Amino acid sequence: MTTTSDDTTTGLSGRPPVVDLATWQAARDELLVREKAHTRAGDALAAARRRLPMVEFDGTVEVVGAGGSVPFLELFQGRDELVVYKHMWHDGAPHQGQCEGCTWAAWHLKDAVYLNARGVSFAIVTTGVWEEVAPFVEFMGYTQPWYSVRDVAEPVGGDMGRIACYLRDGDRVFLTYSTTGRGNEAVNPSMSLLDMTPYGRGETWEDTPEGWPEGRGACWTWRSDAEGNPAWGETSRPVPQWTRPGAGAVETLGRRGDCH
């Protein structure tokens, strides 16, 4: 049963106005027109990505994983396409001092079964030395293939904190696409779900109605203390870490990554 307010203009402080179902449906249908246009624009962008030129590079360059040094070609696992998340790394920092944004992104990418079914492999690379990376991967419980690209040049190494796509033709390897900034949101469905809620992401940059809860800085929910309160202090961790066994309170942190 649907209940409605006797006064369809009733407004609750800091909340959307209360209306009857027919009025809500009319407003929803109006927004749907814009959403469909947005979807079609996204389809057009994807089509443009498929038409980008590509850059060939030496696929025999060595990276380091759980099995030791291997050529970058190994990351394709015999498939023709490869998606890589390039994880930032802070040398010498404890687990809780690693980049919270990258930790969060990698947490959303724990299973690449559908990518694999479509002939696409997935891996994570980082500039950390493998001796530091391996314990972090084990602590986080990540099951994706991880590799150190320490001292490896672009387009395998270089700038971290982004997604890169590669194509293989036999032993020839090509960079086809790379994100910047908020392009990483493609792997974070939590953001898309928050964008559907009345209060959104709760960040100051968002366009929200007057009277809505005051937003906070971008990425403010990426770290929390042991009680789950968003925090950037010395007792905080990247949010996904609190689900891991042994992730107790902490006393010191390494550097934290910037988020843009």
Tell me the domain boundaries of the chain: 56-184
Neighbours of 191 (CB within 10 A): 16
pLDDT number for residue 11: 56
- 58-87 exposure pattern, b = at least 16 Cβ within 10 A, e = fewer: ebeeebbbeeeebebbbbbeeeebbbbbbb
pLDDT digits (tens, 9 = 90+) for 121-156: 999 999 999 999 999 999 999 999 999 999 999 999
pLDDT number for residue 57: 98
| C-beta of residue 144 within 8 angstroms of C-beta of residue 105 | no
d(CA 252, CA 232): 12
Does 12 score more than 70 pLDDT? no
Across residues 46-59, what is the average pLDDT? 98
The token pair at 37 is 């246009």
The pLDDT confidence band at residue 13, using thresholds 50, 70 and 90, is confident
Across residues 181-203, what is the average pLDDT? 94
* CATH C-level class of 56-184: alpha beta
pLDDT digits (tens, 9 = 90+) for 220-235: 999 999 899 998 888 8
pLDDT digits (tens, 9 = 90+) for 241-260: 999 998 887 777 755 544 54
pTM of the model: 0.90
